[in-house]
Structure 1
Amino acid sequence: MFRRTGLISTLIGLLALLLWTPGAARAADGECAVLAPGASAAAERAVGAACAQVAAGVWYTWGGGHGAQPGATYGQVDPTDPASEHDPERLGFDCSGLVRYAYAQAAGSDILDGVAAGQYYTHRAAERFTADQGIAPLVPGDLLAWGTSQKLHHIAIYLGAGKMVEARQSGTKVMVSDVRLNGDYFGALRVDTGAVTGHVFQTWGTGVWTRAAPSVGAARVYAFPQSTTIRVQCQKHAELVTSDGYTNDAWSYLPDYKAWMTNIYIKGPAWLDGVPTCT
């Protein structure tokens, strides 16, 4: 015969079982999975590919995942991080290497090759979210970034329920973490794995800055570290620029960066074919 306290405990346990949901349990116990509705099938595949690395106990390695094809690679020693001394011995991913691999698996092609900044500013962005918006508008598979407009240094994949999967730092493995909105959280984006839209071009040169206005004296926004695929919205005649043996007064507006770039460093004619004039 149950004592009264035992009966009450039993009833509470039964009630908890009735109210239990798989998603809530996953969010609580740190399992890596899609933890909220709303994601596209491709985004869910990206989450699954990243979570498989958690399950396999794959290491963070500095520079890992940036081989000729998406996938884990041996890392390098980061001269600024003593914890990276064993990274050349470990097969794994850094933050952007993991994102690259996850979305390559999801899309069937290498659509996010590059470092964190290049991935955040991708011409495949379907939608962008500011830091002030927090995580409320996000769905699983969205990418979260940390840093500044001049240097983004970290990127991760949102799972839902305030959780993310990331390759965080040397000495750790690919993990599930709470989303960190403090510090230098920069914003997020939703990846479009479908056909690329708009006027797409390739830049050339290294360390080429985009500007807040079509002038070399305007505030710097972001510097392309290498040749990068960009989307151009429109172009206009503005300040005359001479650089690397070329002179041109045409500037293009890049909507993914909310910035301007001299056409000198965009592969193609001085005035880009098919791109409308900015009004």
Structure 2
Amino acid sequence: MVSRTGLIRTVIALLAVLLWAPVSTAATAQAAPAAAADECRALAPGASAAAERAIAAACAEVAAGTWYTWAGGHGAQPGPTYGQVDPTDPASEHDPERRGFDCSGLVRYAYAQATGSDILNGVASQQYYTHRAADRFTAAQGLAPLLPGDLLAYGTSQKLHHIAIYLGAGKMVEAKQSGTKLMVSDVRLGGSYFGAVRVNTGEVTGHIHQTWGTGVWTKAEPALKAARVYAFPNSTTIRVECQKHAEKVTAEGYENDVWSYLPDYKAWVTNIYIKGPAWLEGVPECKS
């Protein structure tokens, strides 16, 4: 026979179990998102102060639950915008209703917030080939030489289609695809991974010029039949290392045999499409 005191103790114990379980489950549910949010930060040492600020800006958008939206972030000023329908992606049908970023829009915004200047305005290929490159890394080098804040590019030399910000420890923050929100992902090596670039947020060095025209191809050699490397989608700021006389080109009503070497592309372009005189002032002649 159970005593009255023992019965009371049993009831109290049962109530404690019943009351404790929901509280514990709720606490666990609340803790999980906090742990995920903490993951979006610089996860390794060595980043510059500007790179740290760029990461913080991108991670703030992750924490805010900002959407990926195709063509988002490419307004007159850096920042989220409503997107467009990508004709190749059925999942983008709601992008015009969503205010957010595509991959390059997020990179543009993050580094604008970090520097106070719109230094990476453009699509993924323009950001990777930026004349503000402080260093470049090939896919074969993997992640070992990278620092938080470096930009990871995906695609081929003729078409880079994706770019993300490295966090360290094999992680990156990205605007990945329609139907998803900005996220932290494992770095995808192999396949379409092309390489990385470290952004110089300080003074730009070298002979800086501007191209004109659209769809202007750079070439592996200073010749029209040489392999194509990259096509400037529109007027682009470039860094010229040297120039030399080579194959004569006739285009756009001009004729010129001078080609310039662009170290950021490891490629050549005819001087016809570089604003300025036929032989660029102050640019040395290529010796080899």
User: Normalising by structure 1, what TM-score?
Assistant: 0.89
Structure with greater Cα Rg: 2
What SS is found at the alignment partner of 2:39? Answer: coil
Correspondence for 2:76 among 68, 71, 75: 68
Question: Which stretches in structure 1 are left out of the alignment for 5+ residues?
Answer: 1-25
The question of whether the paired residues in 2 share the 8 Å contact of 1:204 and 1:227 is answered with yes
The question of whether the paired residues in 1 share the 8 Å contact of 2:37 and 2:63 is answered with no
For residue 262 of structure 2, what is the aligned residue in structure 1? 254
Runs (4 or more) in structure 1 with deviation over 3 Å come to 26-30
The question of whether the paired residues in 1 share the 8 Å contact of 2:102 and 2:176 is answered with yes
The question of whether the paired residues in 1 share the 8 Å contact of 2:85 and 2:95 is answered with yes
What SS is found at the alignment partner of 2:281? Answer: coil
CA deviation map 1:220-256 (0-9, x unaligned): 0000011000000000000000001000000000000
| Code of the aligned partner of 2:238 | I
CA deviation map 1:98-135 (0-9, x unaligned): 00000001111000000000000000000000000001
Question: Which stretches in structure 2 are left out of the alignment for 5+ residues?
Answer: 1-33
Give the Cα–Cα distance (whole angstroms) in 2 for the partners of residues 94 and 131 of structure 1: 23
What SS is found at the alignment partner of 1:264? Answer: helix
Give the Cα–Cα distance (whole angstroms) in 1 for the partners of residues 281 and 35 of structure 2: 50
For residue 11 of structure 2, what is the aligned residue in structure 1? none
Q: Structure 1 residue 242 and structure 2 residue 242: aligned?
A: no
For residue 146 of structure 1, what is the aligned residue in structure 2? 154
Q: Structure 1 residue 221 and structure 2 residue 229: aligned?
A: yes
TM-aligned CA deviation for residue 30 of structure 1: 6.7
For residue 3 of structure 2, what is the aligned residue in structure 1? none
- What is the RMSD computed on CA atoms of the aligned residues? 1.2
TM-aligned CA deviation for residue 31 of structure 1: 1.8
Matches within 5 A, 1:58-207: 58-207=66-215
For residue 266 of structure 1, what is the aligned residue in structure 2? 274
TM-aligned CA deviation for residue 182 of structure 1: 2.2
Give the Cα–Cα distance (whole angstroms) in 1 for the partners of residues 200 and 274 of structure 2: 23
The question of whether the paired residues in 2 share the 8 Å contact of 1:159 and 1:165 is answered with yes
The question of whether the paired residues in 2 share the 8 Å contact of 1:128 and 1:190 is answered with yes
CA deviation map 1:79-102 (0-9, x unaligned): 010100000000000000000000
TM-aligned CA deviation for residue 28 of structure 1: 8.3
Give the Cα–Cα distance (whole angstroms) in 2 for the partners of residues 182 and 260 of structure 1: 28
Give the Cα–Cα distance (whole angstroms) in 2 for the partners of residues 219 and 251 of structure 1: 15
Specify whether residues 27 and 264 from structure 1 end up closer, same or farther in structure 2 by C-alpha distance, changes over 3 A only: farther
Correspondence for 1:47 among 48, 55, 58: 55
Give the Cα–Cα distance (whole angstroms) in 2 for the partners of residues 196 and 72 of structure 1: 27
For residue 3 of structure 1, what is the aligned residue in structure 2? none
TM-aligned CA deviation for residue 27 of structure 1: 9.5
| Code of the aligned partner of 1:89 | E
User: Normalising by structure 2, what TM-score?
Assistant: 0.87
CA deviation map 1:14-35 (0-9, x unaligned): xxxxxxxxxxxx9988720010
Give the Cα–Cα distance (whole angstroms) in 2 for the partners of residues 124 and 115 of structure 1: 15
